[in-house]
Structure 1
Amino acid sequence: MKQINKVSIALKPNVYSTFRNLNNTVSNTLGEYVDNAVQSFLNHKTELFDLESNYKLCIEISVDWENRTILISDNAAGIDAVNYQRAFEPAHIPLDDTGLNEFGMGMKTASVWLANKWCVYTKALGEDVERFTEFDLQKVTTEEKEELVVIEKNAPANEHYTRIILSQLSTNAPKPGQMEKIRRHLSSIYRQFLRTGNVEIIVNGQSLEAPDYGILYAPFYKTPDGENILWRKEIDFEMGEYKAKGFIAILDKIQNGANGLVLMRRGRVIVGGGDERYFPTVIFGQSGSFRYRRLFGEIELEGFEVSFNKNGFREEEDLYLFMDALKDELKADNLNILGQTDNYRQRGKDQYTKISKAIKKDLEKKAKPKQLSRQVSEVEAKISNQQYLQKNEDVIINAKPLDSYSESFQYNGKNYILTMDLVTETETDSLYSVITTDTEENLFLDTKSISCKINLAHPFFTRFEHFKKGQDYAPIVAIFKALTLAEIMAPDKGTKFASNLRILFNQNILQ
């Protein structure tokens, strides 16, 4: 029998292909490049500021769908000779694993996950060479390459940068309809660094801003005539090897996407970035409750280990027990956050009663005998005229927007881009219209474009003093957005001819 004295633990080239199947998100994958740049900045902060007193780390991510490329560039300290080999060897743990790039897999797995080819140009601060290397997944796997060729050329010692170019993008690469969500996630994940003012992240030309939410400033619910209190609880809590620092507070206004906890480690959000916040039941109670909808916070954790792709903590049971213990801190007599969230109401029942009576009085004053019957008859006559309806639609469809605002979302596995177009068109009776566009580019990118055109010249906006004075249009725009989404979703719920509701609405609101 053959004696076995050693076995190989080298990573075979064909293993790279398995990286493509890792369970990951586009935002987390792009975050690997941001992690590397931020850590390089943190490691060489003193040298960078000595070289340039007003230095700011700038990380730019640009996706070019036409040429199927992604460019990630930064002006951090570059990859120096000591760390260069480690940077390209899979699972080669950094010399210092206490930073953001602790696993030594970020750039490699992210690049293979996103593209078939990628290359890196880097110039380390204080060195006099720029280094270039490129990776071709097909060549590496078919030719079983275990080494990459590195090309060096002379460069000024004070220059410092890294540029990564991904080409022949995979199906994992970001789609146009995902870009707004990616911006939202990255701005959430790196909120602490963005707030310092020393870090800027730009995604397809748009600088990211850290989320900022208002905090309730009001009396304690038991003493409504007492002094106003800022309902923010500073957290400095320990339980065994685990530590937490940060804050938990009450939102001044209920705001979708703002509630929930954000859990960080080493300044980077691990849980709660973007749309995936953390709602431990022991603190937040049941979904939909006032506590659930108004409580939010940011907590930096120590002692917990993170998952390989840094989107979760490994010790889930310990984390839940930790939150259970933290709950008592939120019920302290000096600032009972949970009691205030459960019981405080910005408007009491008496206030709602007054509002209700005022609405009823106003409706009674404006009501006229047989008005509603006449309105319904007129609308019925108009919508029976197909030529009239088509002319109305054509006018608003062809109206050139004054301004537009776009958001992306996913529904039933499809990507959508919803654009709110503000138009002024006096030759149509339509207050708003919904238009679906299926261009060849959209079909290729598996994305549907939906346009909601709001007609600011419609008589509705001149009928009410609120709009005559150009005051807050946000509530009515929110209604049109909701109506547009309802029209998109209704057919999947069994509703036929959902657009008829919009046509009838436009005619009834005109009366």
Structure 2
Amino acid sequence: MKQINTVSIALKPNVYSTFRNLNNTVSNTLGEYVDNAVQSYLNNRELLLSVEPDYRLKITIAVNWERKSIVIEDNAAGIDTDNYERAFEPAHVPIDDTGLNEFGMGMKTASVWLANKWRVYTKALGESMQRYTEFDLHKVTTEGREELLVTETPMPIEAHFTRIELTELSNHAPTSNQMDKVRRHLSSIYRKFLRSGEVEIKVNDVKLEAPCFDILNVPYYKTPKGNSILWKKDVNFEAGEYKARGFIAILDKIQNNANGLVLMRRGRVIVGGGDERYFPQVIFGSPGNFRYKRLFGELELEGFEVTFNKNGFRDEEDLYAFMEALRDELRNDGFNLLGQADNYRQRDREQHSDIAKNVTKALNKESKPKQLTRLVQETENKINDQQHIMQSEQLIQQAERLGGNSESFTLGKELYTLNIELVSENDSDSIYSVTMGDVDSNEKTLFDAMESKLVTCKINIAHPFFTRFDQFKKGNDYMPIISVFKALTLAELMAPNYGVQSASKLRLLFNQNLMQ
């Protein structure tokens, strides 16, 4: 086995500083490390399985804000002797450039984009040495370094891994508020590998799961009494040098960020891994129409070249022409997917009409003469009892937290954190309460402390409202009403910006009306 003492970093040192200015996203950048690990696994799958029959590729990404570090680790086959020098020399493509790491720039540009310093430990399966090297952007640029020292350490030949440690993070590094988005994007980008079960990816100890959406299964809109059809069109389409494999289908229910096409190449999502999907007008029509909202699909493309940072296809005109040709496949008489997507909306309206009739019947059954007048009078009596209202609010505000979650958002130029907390307080009239600041500052209501950026919504699951209706039995049963309280909390926060005074009064009246 060849001994390696140094590796070339080839480019003029000042070129590395320009990497920091590349137009990229955190998710795509972290994806470069995942690409390398997945490709190492694919290239050495048989060897890995021969050594470990139950082998599964595991990739972990750990961001530590206290230490200002990012650690990416995988148990793939490691960087072997033949590829080691190529791995660190920018623009030196790998021996096999038909995989995910085709450009030979991923690890280097990603690491410089994210951090000033990085270290790489790797041990190739079947070799007897672990190799370690480190990169310091400041030293490289000021001292004109064009080589990195490599330290070799003996290690058992059956060991295999790569560990990359990034420190002195740049301002591109992810914040804690970005992590949910990073997980969602990486789950989407590597959906094919995650679904296969061959690859496990964890981001800050959270295991990623591939997105999955239910497909419409109803009769054709022209024959509503006919047999149900699964509205999914398998695609196996060729036009010249270009090919597409996958499916296009109709969503069972409209969901945010579910519609649109996801375009893949070599198993990795290129377009649609983030919050934006691909919506060729020849297939989806205009934004806002029913087809646009409900069509979705995944296509593995061949013949199209990708951009340097793998977030788009170069041949945009050819891609659009390809979609035009594909459109005819989606609207043939035997299986008119586009026609169903356009016209199934009318069936939804009919179902909504049936629901409205049933609701009307139930409302008429519940209505009693003068009942509403009595309820309003009782609410007015209670709302004027300031001591009772204050005591009811304090009880729920001081109640012990049983569970909940936090989300960050921006309003105007201010960053807020919204805490949703579930409590159980039998003696309070309030089904929910909103405060600004720590719970201990309960003498201050939301609009008495506008300088604070922490908003807490406490939801009282012991409130009689939840025992009055049979549907509140399991955790998921509460989600729709919790979404309502979340929206009311945000409305209360935003209302003063639109001239509303004493916005919290609406919540107090709401709580008292709900008790009647």
State TM-score, norm by structure 1: 0.90
Structure 2 partner of 1:95? 95
Task: Call closer, same or farther: CA 1:114–1:491 in 2, change over 3 Å.
Answer: farther
Maintained 8 Å contact 2:41/2:57: yes
Between the aligned partners of 2:368 and 2:319, the Cα distance in structure 1 is 63
2:458 to 453, 462, 467: 453
Between the aligned partners of 1:387 and 1:102, the Cα distance in structure 2 is 70
Structure 1 partner of 2:395? 395
Query: Which deviations, in whole Å up to 9, do the C-alpha atoms of 1:176-230 show, x marking residues without a partner?
Result: 1111111111011000011111100011111111111111111111111211211
Does residue 465 of the first structure (1) align with residue 467 of the second (2)?
no
Does residue 475 of the first structure (1) align with residue 498 of the second (2)?
no
Task: Call closer, same or farther: CA 1:137–1:450 in 2, change over 3 Å.
Answer: farther
What runs of 5+ residues in structure 1 fail to find an aligned partner?
1-8, 440-446
* Shift of residue 345, structure 1, vs aligned partner: 4.2
> SS of the residue aligned with 1:193?
helix
Between the aligned partners of 2:412 and 2:464, the Cα distance in structure 1 is 37
Query: Which deviations, in whole Å up to 9, do the C-alpha atoms of 1:42-79 show, x marking residues without a partner?
Result: 11111101110010000000111111111100000111
Structure 2 partner of 1:365? 365
> SS of the residue aligned with 1:212?
coil
Structure 2 partner of 1:265? 265
Maintained 8 Å contact 1:181/1:408: no
> SS of the residue aligned with 1:286?
coil
Q: Aligned letter for 1:289?
A: N
Structure 2 partner of 1:178? 178
Q: How many residues align?
A: 496
Task: Call closer, same or farther: CA 1:387–1:140 in 2, change over 3 Å.
Answer: farther
Structure 2 partner of 1:509? 514
Q: Aligned letter for 1:230?
A: L
> SS of the residue aligned with 1:111?
helix
* Shift of residue 457, structure 1, vs aligned partner: 0.6
Structure 1 partner of 2:39? 39
Maintained 8 Å contact 1:69/1:167: yes
Aligned pairs for 1:337-416 (under 5 A) are: 337-345=337-345, 347=347, 349-384=349-384, 387-407=387-407
Structure 1 partner of 2:318? 318
Q: Aligned letter for 2:151?
A: I
Maintained 8 Å contact 1:122/1:162: yes
Does residue 426 of the first structure (1) align with residue 426 of the second (2)?
yes
Query: Which deviations, in whole Å up to 9, do the C-alpha atoms of 1:431-484 show, x marking residues without a partner?
Result: 123445589xxxxxxx96554332211111112222268883332233233334
* Shift of residue 351, structure 1, vs aligned partner: 4.2
Q: Aligned letter for 1:428?
A: S
Task: Call closer, same or farther: CA 1:470–1:449 in 2, change over 3 Å.
Answer: closer
Between the aligned partners of 1:86 and 1:367, the Cα distance in structure 2 is 78
Aligned pairs for 1:110-509 (under 5 A) are: 110-345=110-345, 347=347, 349-384=349-384, 387-407=387-407, 418-436=418-436, 450-467=455-472, 472-490=477-495, 498-509=503-514
Query: Which deviations, in whole Å up to 9, do the C-alpha atoms of 1:358-410 show, x marking residues without a partner?
Result: 32232233234444444444444544555544443433333333332455556
Maintained 8 Å contact 1:178/1:409: no
Maintained 8 Å contact 1:416/1:448: yes
More moved, 75-84 vs 381-390: 381-390
CA RMSD of aligned residues (A): 2.6
> SS of the residue aligned with 2:361?
helix
More moved, 452-461 vs 392-401: 392-401
Query: Which deviations, in whole Å up to 9, do the C-alpha atoms of 1:341-364 show, x marking residues without a partner?
Result: 111248555544443233223223
> SS of the residue aligned with 1:422?
strand
Task: Call closer, same or farther: CA 1:264–1:408 in 2, change over 3 Å.
Answer: farther
More moved, 467-476 vs 124-133: 467-476
More moved, 381-390 vs 143-152: 381-390
> SS of the residue aligned with 2:472?
helix
Task: Call closer, same or farther: CA 1:15–1:245 in 2, change over 3 Å.
Answer: same
Structure 2 partner of 1:5? none
Query: Which deviations, in whole Å up to 9, do the C-alpha atoms of 1:121-169 show, x marking residues without a partner?
Result: 1001111111111111111112121111111111111100000111111
Question: Percent identity over the alignment?
Answer: 66
Maintained 8 Å contact 1:399/1:423: yes
What runs of 5+ residues in structure 2 fail to find an aligned partner?
1-8, 440-451
Structure 1 partner of 2:4? none
State TM-score, norm by structure 2: 0.89
Q: Aligned letter for 1:143?
A: E
Between the aligned partners of 1:21 and 1:396, the Cα distance in structure 2 is 50
> SS of the residue aligned with 2:234?
strand
> SS of the residue aligned with 1:34?
helix
Maintained 8 Å contact 1:60/1:202: yes
> SS of the residue aligned with 1:392?
helix
* Shift of residue 10, structure 1, vs aligned partner: 5.7
Between the aligned partners of 2:200 and 2:414, the Cα distance in structure 1 is 31
Maintained 8 Å contact 2:120/2:164: yes
* Shift of residue 241, structure 1, vs aligned partner: 1.7
Structure 2 partner of 1:444? none
Q: Aligned letter for 2:392?
A: N
Does residue 76 of the first structure (1) align with residue 81 of the second (2)?
no
Maintained 8 Å contact 2:10/2:90: no
Maintained 8 Å contact 1:462/1:468: no
More moved, 168-177 vs 419-428: 419-428
Between the aligned partners of 1:391 and 1:159, the Cα distance in structure 2 is 64
Between the aligned partners of 2:200 and 2:221, the Cα distance in structure 1 is 41
* Shift of residue 81, structure 1, vs aligned partner: 1.3
Structure 2 partner of 1:443? none
Maintained 8 Å contact 1:177/1:417: no
* Shift of residue 497, structure 1, vs aligned partner: 5.1
